[in-house]
């Protein structure tokens, strides 16, 4: 990625943008195969709406207007920093026009005021899928969504990945069974386990959250449990000796999710009970996705079940969603990306002289009408110079209008051709992106 003069706001060269578009096209196609409809929401929300996300609200970019006048309300607005909260607001406002359960995908820019570092940006593209019901939403959607995201990553061929799952009911029920009062604070603290380590987590739980040392130790033992065997996970949790009705419910759901995942996509989904997702609105299954060969990059996606985020007061719209941080994923994949050319143009139509430019335009238009990207040389320079211009751009073919000859400037092969019937090889029609990890598109 091109280093922007503003830290955390990446910019892409044309070849890098083609690489990004190849990822977006694959995601969009996969989502649509599973019945998700496209949606775009506004970039701006009220600060009150954005604050529903919880502690991340401190990262919101607020808006102000230059030369604002008395009575302006722009100071109460901010840029959205994820797509779930705006989507919840959209559902409530447009519920009368939607058919439930409503399945949507959304691919947009978001903004987050955190410290930029590798894989973390202040402006980035996120791809979300969500299913929202009216009043109720069946549990099977909590199973479906991580499997759809796993399929999307498999289509991208990003190498080995792992969708880590947990259930907030397991954690909350376990903490309540221990007698912990600040359940939300405990969840947020456990979610920082990888960042600050077990010793610091235990200290924060005791000194700031108010647990006893024994409660903190038990919470950490729960967080150590991981695996993909559904029955074994349940047995390990029960062996800790804590009981609570919410814990029982969560274990049943986690078991069913793991069992279905092992049946449909073996090895892609693993229970990791330290995954808590430190956002206040999650109520059931939660997910985080890692690239196995790039664990230092951290999570490239996540999400979960939410029951009360979208509500009109009279009706509630429970949902479940997962997202992929496209920009974070791209930042690592671009290290080994190869793009066949940085322009879409397949053919450059040469210009013999400016008086004959119209003839070149007619040939280019005939090619375009058949879906072949074509451009016309910027000037009637010597043909050698026009060929060098095409070569610098990576355009594979040059068309000479005088005798209708087309030249593959890579091999030097030149043949007579008719713009009404000629077509390039399929691999040359559009730029192709290849990653060492295997992402391909055309």
> Is 436 annotated as belonging to a binding site?
no
Which pLDDT does position 278 carry in this prediction? 64
Which pLDDT does position 387 carry in this prediction? 98
Separation in Å, CA 287 to CA 143, 273, 303: 11, 11, 5
Separation in Å, CA 30 to CA 25, 26, 156, 259: 9, 6, 10, 23
> Is 82 annotated as belonging to a binding site?
yes
374-380: average pLDDT: 98
Residue spans of the domains in the chain: they are 14-338, 343-435
In terms of DSSP bridges, do strands 433-435 and 440-441 run parallel, antiparallel, or are they unpaired?
antiparallel
Which pLDDT does position 309 carry in this prediction? 81
Token pair of 18, please?
């083609």
* pLDDT digits 0-9 by tens, 36-89: 999 999 999 998 888 865 555 568 898 887 776 666 665 689 999 999 989 999
Which pLDDT does position 439 carry in this prediction? 44
CATH 3.30.950.10 is held by the domain 343-435: no
Q: Which fold has domain 14-338?
A: BirA Bifunctional Protein; domain 2 (3.30.930)
* pLDDT digits 0-9 by tens, 410-424: 999 999 999 999 999
Is 0.85 topped by the overall pTM?
yes
> Is 83 annotated as belonging to a binding site?
yes
Which range among 90-94, 175-179, 292-296, 416-420 shows the weakest confidence by mean pLDDT? 292-296
Per-residue pLDDT band for 440 (boundaries 50, 70, 90) equals very low
> Is 130 annotated as belonging to a binding site?
yes
> Is 84 annotated as belonging to a binding site?
yes
Which pLDDT does position 68 carry in this prediction? 66
Instruction: Quote the crossing angle between the two packed helices 245-264 and 168-178, to the nearest 10°.
Output: 150
Number of neighbours of residue 276 by Cβ within 10 angstroms: 24
Which pLDDT does position 159 carry in this prediction? 82
Burial code of 291-318, b = ≥16 C-beta within 10 A, e = fewer? beebeebbbbbbbbbbbebbeeeeebbb
> Is 430 annotated as belonging to a binding site?
no
Average pLDDT, the chain: 91
Residue 244 clears pLDDT 60, i.e. is over it: yes
* pLDDT digits 0-9 by tens, 146-190: 999 999 999 987 888 999 999 999 999 999 999 999 999 999 999
Which pLDDT does position 296 carry in this prediction? 81
**Cα–Cα distance between 287 and 58 in angstroms, integer?**
23
**Cα–Cα distance between 436 and 332 in angstroms, integer?**
11
Residue 141 clears pLDDT 90, i.e. is over it: yes
On the question of a common fold for 14-338 and 343-435, the answer reads: no
Residue 438 clears pLDDT 50, i.e. is over it: no
> Is 175 annotated as belonging to a binding site?
no
């Amino acid at each position: 990625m091109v280093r922007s003069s503003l830290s955390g706001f990446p910019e892409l060269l044309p070849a890098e943008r083609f690489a990004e578009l190849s990822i977006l096209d694959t995601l969009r196609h996969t989502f649509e195969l599973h019945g998700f409809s496209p949606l775009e929401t506004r970039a701006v929300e009220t600060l009150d709406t954005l604050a529903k996300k919880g502690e991340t609200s401190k990262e919101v970019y607020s808006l102000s207007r230059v030369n604002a006048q008395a009575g302006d309300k722009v100071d109460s607005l901010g840029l959205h920093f994820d797509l779930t909260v705006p989507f919840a607001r959209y559902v409530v406002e447009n519920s009368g026009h939607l058919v439930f359960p409503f399945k949507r995908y959304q691919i947009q820019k978001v903004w987050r005021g955190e410290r930029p570092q590798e894989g973390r940006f202040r402006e980035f593209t996120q791809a979300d899928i969500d299913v929202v019901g009216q009043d109720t939403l069946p549990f099977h959607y909590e199973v479906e969504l991580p499997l759809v995201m796993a399929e999307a990553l498999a289509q991208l061929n990003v190498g080995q990945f792992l969708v880590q799952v947990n259930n907030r009911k397991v954690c909350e029920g376990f903490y309540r069974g221990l007698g912990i009062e600040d359940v939300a604070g405990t969840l947020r603290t456990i979610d920082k386990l990888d960042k600050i380590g077990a010793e610091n987590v235990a200290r924060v739980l005791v000194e700031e959250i108010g647990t006893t040392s024994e409660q903190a130790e038990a919470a950490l033992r729960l967080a150590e449990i991981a695996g993909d065997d559904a029955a074994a996970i349940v047995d390990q949790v029960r062996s800790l000796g804590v009981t609570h009705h919410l814990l029982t419910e969560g274990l049943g759901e986690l078991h069913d999710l793991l069992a279905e995942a092992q049946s449909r996509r073996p090895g892609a989904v693993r229970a990791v009970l330290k995954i808590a997702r430190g956002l206040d609105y999650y109520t059931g299954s939660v997910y985080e996705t890692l690239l196995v060969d790039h664990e230092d990059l951290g999570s490239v996606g996540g999400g979960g079940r939410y029951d009360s985020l979208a509500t009109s007061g009279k009706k509630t719209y429970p949902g479940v969603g997962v997202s992929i941080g496209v920009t974070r994923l791209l930042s690592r994949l671009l290290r080994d990306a190869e793009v066949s050319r940085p322009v879409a143009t397949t053919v450059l139509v040469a210009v013999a002289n400016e008086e004959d430019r119209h003839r070149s335009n007619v040939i280019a238009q005939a090619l375009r009408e058949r879906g072949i990207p074509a451009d016309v040389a910027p000037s009637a320079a010597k043909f050698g110079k026009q060929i060098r211009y095409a070569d610098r751009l990576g355009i594979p073919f040059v068309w000479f209008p005088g005798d209708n000859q087309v030249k593959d400037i890579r091999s030097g092969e030149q043949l007579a051709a008719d713009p009404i019937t000629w077509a390039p090889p399929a691999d040359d029609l559009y730029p192709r992106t290849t990653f060492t990890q295997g992402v391909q598109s055309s």
